[in-house]
Amino acid sequence: MLKESKTYQSQTLMGGLSGFASPIGLDRRDRLNALRSGDIGFVHSWDINTSVDGPGTRMTVFMSGCPLRCQYCQNPDTWKMRDGQPVYLQAMIDKVERYKDLFQATGGGITFSGGESMMQPAFVSRVFRAAQEMGVHTCLDTSGFLNRNYTDDMIRDIDLCLLDVKSGNEETYKKVTGGVLQPTIDFGKRLSRLGSKIWVRFVLVPELTDSVENVEGVARICEQFGDAVEHIDVLGFHQLGRPKWHELRIPYPLEHAKGPSKQLRERVREQFESHGFTVY
């Protein structure tokens, strides 16, 4: 659609996202239409890593926009979609193709994170479809809160989902995120039914998510996803995101919170293992 525009060639730039062609000068209506169709996506940043964003060497793309306001969010600078840079779909696909051999050699691939990448389902799913056609592994890092944004066909393009199960009950979920828990459960069930693998992520915050009852609730939720769950990552809270909250002048609710002790981490690990899960 956009490439048919007379001004397409004059509306690309090579800038802050390291070589992506990005549309500039489009009016608001054109951008909204392109967003709905997936011809553009609003991207915060990207990198190549071998850390915790899925197996192998991965291209992790951090999308802009998120409906939740998690107390421990590390990236509050990704909350607003308008703060991201619009990137052409084909530019993203070309970037994946550039690293295709590296991904295939290491068992890696592309991961969409955020923010919340499910806010831009058309763009993400179209990139995933192109990646799979290249033989590149796809991974979605999400809270699952926007379950209804994804069709079954879109889910079939997800090889692996890093699913953030942020609490085991609605009350704690509301306190942690400002949202509701049920959509995460529904999305996990759909992933399982449609054949995607799941790595569950649970952030352990002392005096917020650490109660025995809350952890048991998370374990029972994970049991509903069946054999799709390959393991559970227990992620200890840390303060690395605090400077961003300060820079953005957003009151930080966990200003004085500390990370979990070794003893607490071990207790939570044992709780999950008692339900038959592999825990990292």
Whether 131 is covered by a domain: the verdict is: yes
pLDDT band, very low/low/confident/very high, at 79 (cuts 50, 70, 90): very high
Q: Give me the pLDDT at residue 49, please.
A: 87
Please give the pLDDT value at position 123.
97
What is the pLDDT averaged over residues 134-140? Answer: 98
In a domain, 227, yes or no: yes
Average pLDDT on 253-257 reads 96
Work out the mean pLDDT of the chain and round it to a whole number: 91
Is residue 280 domain-resident? no
pLDDT band at 7 (very low <50, low <70, confident <90, very high): very low
| Residue 142 domain-assigned (yes or no) | yes
Would you say residue 165 has pLDDT above 90?
yes
Residue 66 lies in a domain: yes
Q: Which domain holds residue 76?
A: 41-273
Please determine, for residue 216, whether its predicted confidence score (pLDDT) is greater than 50: yes
Give tens-digit pLDDT for 169-205. Answer: 999 999 999 999 999 999 999 999 999 999 999 999 9
Residues 38-60, mean pLDDT to the nearest whole number: 92
Confidence band, pLDDT 50/70/90 cuts, at residue 18: low
Dihedrals phi, psi of 244, to nearest 5 degrees: -65, -40
- Asked whether residue 16 is domain-assigned, the answer is no
Number of domains in the chain: 1
Question: How confident is the model at residue 2, as a pLDDT?
Answer: 46
Q: What is the mean pLDDT of residues 78-96?
A: 94
Residue among 239, 234, 143 at smallest CA distance from 191 = 143
Is 95 part of a structural domain of the chain?
Answer: yes
Residue 17 — pLDDT band, cuts 50, 70, 90? low
Average pLDDT over residues 75-94: 94
| pLDDT of 27 | 72
Residue 245 lies in a domain: yes
Checking if the pLDDT of 9 tops 70, the result is no
Least confident of 8-12, 55-59, 145-149, 162-166: 8-12
* CATH of residue 50: 3.20.20.70
Question: Which percentage of the chain shows pLDDT scores above 70?
Answer: 90
Q: What is the pLDDT of residue 23?
A: 67
pLDDT the model gives residue 15: 33
What is the model's pLDDT at position 10? 31
The pLDDT score that the predictor gives to residue 28 is: 76
The dihedral over CA atoms of 112, 214, 204, 242, expressed in degrees to the nearest 10, equals 80
